[in-house]
Amino acid sequence: MIDLYTWTTPNGRKVSIMLEELGVDYTVHAVNIGQDEQKSPEFLAISPNNKIPAIVDRETGLKLMESGAIMIYLADKFGKFMPKEAEARAKTIEWLMWQMGGLGPMLGQAHHFLHFNPGKAEYAEDRFGTETRRLYRVLDKQLEGKDYIVGDYSIADMACWPWISRYEWQQIDLSDFPNVKAWYQRLLARPAVQKGYHVPKKMGEIPTGD
Ligand SMILES: N[C@@H](CCC(=O)N[C@@H](CS)C(=O)NCC(=O)O)C(=O)O
């Protein structure tokens, strides 16, 4: 049994989508980051960086923070969504790291400046808006002629998708990135993606991509 500590954000949804795809038992613990629950001593003991998501594997006692590390752990533990062959595994981790080091942090900044605080910092809006569009172009190129980011459906797809689902906050029109749009809607059709998106609670409908 896995305990998942999470909230209604892209980083949290990556892990709930993966757990739904794995079809394993897990218990959800909502950590309301809007009310600073991530700063409680109880949560700090599980996630020393005070951020969701985090898991506890009740079978082993392992406590783990950082969504990328959690996804690699779960893929290895359950033997799914990560190729075993060395090169394909490295390529999957490459795109997972691209999400962790680029797509997530940059789009997160775009949310702050373009969506929540427009008009406050022209430089930041330009910088993170430009970088967001560049990252969409990179993903669009990677998806050319492919259904998934690397080979079969993998943790690389599950890591990127929740960030793309906030395309409206990023002032992105998905029709400018046709491969991303087709991939976004391909994943959206998966029941596990829809279920995992609404963990720990439903905040609204999932953007359709149109
Ligand atoms: N690199 C971390 C980032 C986690 C992260 O930024 N979590 C945000 C929500 S998406 C959070 O907990 N924010 C609360 C805070 O910063 O106090 C991961 O991928 O797990």
Q: What is the pLDDT of residues 13-28, one digit of tens each?
A: 999 999 999 999 999 9
Average pLDDT, the chain: 98
| pLDDT of 75 | 98
Which residues are 64's β-sheet partners? 55
pTM of the model: 0.97
Written as six digits, the tokens of 125 are 């809006």
Mean pLDDT within 173-188: 98
Give the nearest ligand 1 atom to 36 CA.
Answer: 17
The residue extents of the domains of the chain are 2-78, 86-190
Dihedrals phi, psi of 5, to nearest 5 degrees:
-105, 120
Ligand 1 and 29: CB distance under 6 A: no
Mean pLDDT within 124-136: 98
Identify the CATH homologous superfamily for domain 2-78.
Answer: Glutaredoxin (3.40.30.10)
The alpha carbon of 38 and the centre of ligand 1 are apart by a number of angstroms equal to 9
Which residues are 91's β-sheet partners? none
The alpha carbon of 53 and the centre of ligand 1 are apart by a number of angstroms equal to 7
Are 158 and 71 in contact by the 8 Å Cβ rule? The answer is yes
Angle between helices 155-164 and 86-98 (to 10 degrees): 20
Q: What is the DSSP letter of 118?
A: T
For the beta sheet containing 63-65, the strands, ordered from the edge strand earlier in sequence to the opposite edge, are 26-30, 2-6, 54-57, 63-65
2-78 and 86-190, same CATH topology? no
| pLDDT of 17 | 98
Q: Looking at the domain that runs over 86-190, which CATH code has it been given?
A: 1.20.1050.10
